């Protein structure tokens, strides 16, 4: 019964961390002007996904590219999308509110460029980890389930032995 209780405590801890840990991690916010044929953005570290919100002040259209760290650096160095693998692309948006799934934990580049030939005077980019963290939540619920099943089995065995 101790093992079952221990597993349930660990599971509850993981569930609580799934809600608390994204709050502790930073939210990335950037404000900038953007000329045509220019890419700007940021590198973010994430585990399972990101919540992205991007808006332009005067509803100027923009495109967003999400790629891994290496491809992001290559794209910024060359100023071109040639020979770059992009994970997610969002074209001609004036507002983007999106949850993006990430294939592997690590660093990712989120780059923005104007969709037209006009300069975007003010662009706000907000990037945050989702709450709750799906990986921790699933792990916590699984461990709680194993603990409950173990507790029920041990309880039955204890009652049968009396």
- Read off the CATH number of the domain in which 48 is found: 2.60.120.380
Q: What is the mean pLDDT of residues 71-95?
A: 88
User: Virtual CA dihedral for 114, 118, 123, 125, nearest 10 degrees?
Assistant: 0
What is the Cβ-side half-sphere exposure of residue 153, based on CA atoms within 13 angstroms? 9
- Does the pLDDT of residue 117 top 50, yes or no? yes
Same domain, 90 and 161: no
CA distance 56 to 88: 20
Q: Mind listing the pLDDT tens digit for each residue in 38-49?
A: 888 888 888 778
56 in the same domain as 3? no
Average pLDDT over residues 17-34: 64
Pick the more confident residue, 30 or 79: 79
Backbone angles phi, psi at 93, to 5 degrees: -110, 145
Q: Is the pLDDT of residue 141 over 90?
A: yes
Residue 1 domain boundaries:
1-24+133-162
Name the one residue in this structure whose structure tokens are 């349930």. 8
- Residue 59 sits in the same domain as residue 17: no
Does the reported pTM lie above 0.75? no
């Amino acid at each position: 019964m101790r093992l079952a209780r221990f597993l349930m405590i660990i599971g509850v801890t993981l569930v609580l961390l799934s809600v608390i840990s994204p709050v502790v991690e930073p939210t990335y916010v950037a404000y900038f002007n953007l000329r045509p044929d220019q890419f700007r953005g940021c590198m973010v570290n994430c585990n399972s996904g990101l919540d992205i919100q991007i808006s332009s002040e005067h509803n100027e259209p923009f495109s967003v590219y999400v790629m891994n760290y290496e491809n992001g650096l290559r794209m910024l160095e060359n100023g071109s999308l040639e020979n770059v693998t992009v994970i997610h692309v969002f074209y001609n948006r004036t507002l983007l509110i999106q949850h993006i799934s990430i294939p592997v934990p690590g660093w990712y580049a989120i780059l923005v460029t104007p969709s037209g030939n006009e300069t975007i005077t003010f662009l706000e980019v907000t990037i945050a980890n989702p709450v709750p963290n799906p990986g921790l939540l699933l792990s916590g619920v699984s461990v709680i389930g194993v603990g409950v099943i173990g507790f029920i089995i041990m309880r039955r065995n204890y009652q049968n032995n009396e």
